Amino acid sequence: MRALKGVSFELREGEVHALLGENGAGKSTLIKVITGAHQPDGGVFEVNGETLSQLTPGKARELGIACVYQQPALFPDLSVAENISLRLEKSSPFALVKWAERRRKADELLGRIGADIAADAEVRALSMPEQQLVEIACAMGAGARIVIMDEPTASLTRKEQHLLFKVVRDLRANGVGVIYISHRLEEIFALADRVTVLRDGESVGTNPVDGLTEEQMIRLMVGREVSAIYPPPEGVVGEAVLSVRDLSCAESGVAGVDLDVRAGEVVALAGLVGAGRTELARVLFGITLADGGGIFLNGKAVKIRSPREAIAHGIAYVPEDRRRHGVILEMPVAANITMAGHPKFFPGTLLRFGAETELARRFIADLGIKTDSSESPGGSLSGGNQQKVSVARWLATEPRLLILDEPTQGVDVGAKAEIHRIIRSLAEQGPRRADDLQRPPRGARHGRPHRRHARRPHREGFRKIRSRCPSSHGRRAWRCCGNPEKPR
């Protein structure tokens, strides 16, 4: 599958040029070509009138090209000042490290974008929005003439967004060309001069922003009309599913929280970065333990001491940082989707890959996940499609209480509408059932696989499966793993 097919794109000096498209349309690939991370196999690439046959990341930096990626590429065990200096300083084996100068430069750049972050802070301790601001500071300090911003406001508060908008306008005023990627169309109208839309790896048009309406932009991106992005509530609200009384956790800074979530309703947790939204979600899911107050599910007091116990109680949690906590990049899409529900999907020791693939394909279709197949690794997907896989994993568990932390972050407008529709549908009708996975295959008895499954020809796969079983299984290992060869 070709990621880009005959794409034409032009950026002018002192212009903010928006790049739009659905997840998987080719935006990330185009950015990687511009920054030298990927080499094109056709076409012409020019910078300042100079035709380039090959572009490397080092050459791109020399030409003044800088990129603020959607997922921060920072070293977690280094400080903010060290991360910034690694991007900006020229390396030399015998150079002395000027620590005071590093901190001064970091403070200056962070101050320019209005970020209240200490230069000595360890990146691991920063929230996702704070890491995003450090990335922006790195790009500002590079003195770039071409700045690429890939979903720069995805995790920022409204105040931080306005500070970023000011930075973008200052860059434009100084003659810097800005490529701005965002799924938030209101930002495009507020900042961009022109917009290019990609669809299925091809450019479908470049237009002045002033000449387009929001509906026309959406139609260009998805190739169809999109119904209401925020469907109105229509169901009946029932009894409380979750009640929280005076909940506290000193470790995460949660104190004295009262909350009720009733069946059939969607409750929003709003607040600035650092207000405790994510911290409360992590307490409810058992990642950090509450040390005060009470949690009640369906009127019964419960103690949630781990995510395993939360899942057993019917609680699901879609985390904010999909790359660290949401998707395992090396594993197939199908395995990522079913990972949270193994006890239900694979009862006993019976591995049922046909049912797993069927469920994965259903969610791939329902959420519009763009992937070559359900066996493609999660890391091969675009950021927005990884987010959809993260959401699908927890929808597959059929939760009674679903906690979503920024579920549409980095997701295109069509998928956003679909995720909102699914959330509303779950609230009003209850979770979807995975009946195909709960029923054993026809012909299966006493933990034995269906005969057709037992004769699958992929021997390498069977060897891997067999290695998962304890050696004490003996002959049972042959039966439960579907290995066509009996143990000797």
What are 226-256's pLDDT values in tens digits? 555 666 777 778 888 899 999 999 888 888 9
Statement to judge: residues 179 and 33 lie in one domain: yes
Quote the CA–CA distance of 185 and 158 in Å, as a whole number.
Answer: 15
Kindly state whether residue 89 falls inside one of the protein's structural domains: yes
Kindly state whether residue 488 falls inside one of the protein's structural domains: no
What's the total number of domains in the chain? 3
pLDDT in tens, 70-102: 777 899 999 999 999 988 887 777 778 889 999
Q: What is the model's pLDDT at position 272?
A: 67
Statement to judge: residues 174 and 287 lie in one domain: no
Kindly state whether residue 6 falls inside one of the protein's structural domains: no
Q: What is the DSSP letter of 29?
A: H
Q: What is the model's pLDDT at position 293?
A: 92
Q: What is the model's pLDDT at position 326?
A: 78
Statement to judge: residues 171 and 249 lie in one domain: no
Q: What is the model's pLDDT at position 459?
A: 36
Residue 167 and residue 186 in contact, taking contact as beta carbons nearer than 8 Å: no
Stretch 378-397: mean pLDDT: 84
Residue 374 has pLDDT above 80, yes or no: yes
Domain that residue 339 falls in: 240-437
Q: Which of 154, 220, 230, 73 is nearest to 384 (CA)?
A: 154
Kindly state whether residue 4 falls inside one of the protein's structural domains: no
Statement to judge: residues 175 and 72 lie in one domain: yes
Please, is 228 exposed, middle or buried when counting C-beta atoms within 10 Å of its C-beta (0-12, 13-18, 19+)? exposed
pTM over 0.75: no
Kindly state whether residue 443 falls inside one of the protein's structural domains: no
The CATH number assigned to the domain holding 36 equals 3.40.50.300
Statement to judge: residues 352 and 207 lie in one domain: no
Statement to judge: residues 108 and 216 lie in one domain: yes
Q: What is the model's pLDDT at position 115?
A: 84
Q: What is the model's pLDDT at position 342?
A: 80
Q: What is the model's pLDDT at position 273?
A: 66
Greatest alpha-carbon span in the chain: 76
Residue 4 has pLDDT above 60, yes or no: yes
pLDDT in tens, 443-481: 333 333 333 333 333 333 333 333 333 333 433 333 333
Statement to judge: residues 394 and 470 lie in one domain: no
The lowest-confidence range among 186-190, 357-361, 363-367, 410-414 is 410-414
Kindly state whether residue 11 falls inside one of the protein's structural domains: no
Quote the CA–CA distance of 315 and 285 in Å, as a whole number.
Answer: 7
Kindly state whether residue 465 falls inside one of the protein's structural domains: yes
Residue 55 has pLDDT above 70, yes or no: yes
Statement to judge: residues 465 and 430 lie in one domain: no
Pairing between β-strand 401-404 and β-strand 315-318 as defined by DSSP bridges:
parallel
Kindly state whether residue 228 falls inside one of the protein's structural domains: no
